[in-house]
Amino acid sequence: MPGTTLILGGARSGKSRFAESLLAGKPGDARLYLATAEARDAEMAERIARHRADRGSAWITIEEPLDIAPIIQRECGQGRYVLVECLTLWLSNLMEAGRDVAAETGRLCAALPNQHSTGGAVLVSNEVGLGIMPMNALARAFGDEAGRLNQRIAAAADKAYFIAAGLPLKLKGE
């Protein structure tokens, strides 16, 4: 499955499990897990440890909170399949670092493999716009940026799925 696949869903919807299942048949040295989370507190450190344990040692793992585009381009160009977990954490890292989100999203879109590539990318992102409007400006700005990010990645992707209650709904692609 060369090309790019976007996996959207809410918290605990089954996004990660579904994304990992798409690459389960690929050899371990062909699968790269690109983690964007940083363990800034004990709860997040526990989440990261749980994710590592759940996926086991069958994945090559790179942890990179900001500069994911060059890694995707390099690894997919070498025939690897990259799972990015997750774009919304990457977005919050960009916003906190004061980076230009639109420019970084453009860099990411330009780095994504297409159906004619030797490798592929599966990108996981939270759909945050389905709930009530947040009360503070930062949360509203994050929701707006996440919506724009998801739209741009969905437009660039070959396939897109929405996951709810562990069930995938295909939004785009064959």
Catalytic residue positions?
A: 51
Rounded Cα distance, 109 and 107, in Å? 6
Token pair of 55, please? 């996926």
Rounded Cα distance, 30 and 80, in Å? 5
- Which residues, in sequence order, are CB contacts of 57 under 8 Å at separation 6+? none
What CATH number does the domain containing 25 carry? 3.40.50.300
What is the average pLDDT across 92-112?
A: 97
What is the average pLDDT across 150-164?
A: 97
- For residue range 37-47, what is the model confidence (pLDDT) as tens digits? 999 899 999 98
Domain count, the chain: 1
What does the pLDDT read at residue 114? 82
What is the average pLDDT across 67-82?
A: 95
Dihedral sign from CA coordinates of 37, 108, 134, 12: negative
Domain that holds residue 115: 3-172
What does the pLDDT read at residue 128? 92
Q: Which amino acid is at 6?
A: L
- For residue range 107-155, what is the model confidence (pLDDT) as tens digits? 999 999 887 778 999 999 999 988 888 889 999 999 999 999 999 999 9
Q: Is 26 exposed, middle or buried (0-12, 13-18, 19+ CB in 10 A)?
A: middle
What is the average pLDDT across 40-57?
A: 88
Q: Is 12 left (phi over 0), alpha (psi -120 to 50) or beta?
A: left
CB 165 within 8 A of CB 18: no
What is the average pLDDT across 99-114?
A: 96
What does the pLDDT read at residue 2? 79
